[in-house]
């Protein structure tokens, strides 16, 4: 039996550290500990964190509540990533604190698009059956 690796060949260590970083950044945003000026981080959801093999860089996938102003949110977080990293340094005790790169998470849009196609396909099938 062939084992499928759904995590795209990430090591257990990368996955474990990524999950730890994700949870702590989520806490930082909920408690607004990053102190980003004129920005409400309580409305940000961290969906995933992917670590590089050397654990020195983290890609943080985020989405704002409702998915509105996604690009603007990512640019603000990128601009003030040093503040998030500083708050993260107080929570994590690891050898190298990863450099944070914020990325738009478009997986919800993609899932919605697929769901819409499936719904349309079901409607088309019903129409076919009715006319046959």
pLDDT digits (tens, 9 = 90+) for 32-80: 888 888 888 888 899 999 999 999 999 999 998 877 788 888 999 999 9
In the chain, where the domains are located = 12-105
**Per-position DSSP letters for 47-98, written without gaps between them:** EEEEE-TTSSEEEEEEEEGGGTTHHHHHHHHHHTHHHHHHHHHHH---SSPP
Distance CA(6)–CA(102), nearest Å, equals 23
pLDDT digits (tens, 9 = 90+) for 105-123: 888 888 888 999 999 988 8
Q: Does residue 97 register a pLDDT over 60?
A: yes
Superfamily of chain region 12-105:
K homology (KH) domain (3.30.300.20)
Average pLDDT over residues 87-95: 90
Predicted confidence at residue 1, as pLDDT, reads: 37
Q: pTM of this prediction?
A: 0.77
């Amino acid at each position: 039996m062939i084992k499928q690796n759904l995590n795209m060949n990430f090591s257990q260590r990368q996955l474990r550290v990524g999950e730890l970083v994700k949870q702590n950044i989520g806490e930082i945003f909920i408690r607004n500990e990053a102190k980003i000026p004129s920005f409400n981080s309580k409305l940000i959801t961290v969906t995933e964190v992917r670590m590089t093999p050397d654990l020195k860089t983290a890609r943080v996938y985020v989405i704002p509540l409702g998915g509105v102003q996604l690009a603007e949110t990512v640019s603000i977080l990128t601009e003030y990533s040093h503040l998030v990293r500083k708050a993260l340094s107080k929570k994590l005790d690891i050898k190298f604190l990863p450099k944070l790169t914020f990325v738009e998470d478009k997986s919800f849009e993609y899932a919605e698009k697929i769901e819409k196609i499936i719904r349309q396909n079901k409607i088309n099938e019903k129409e076919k059956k009715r006319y046959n």
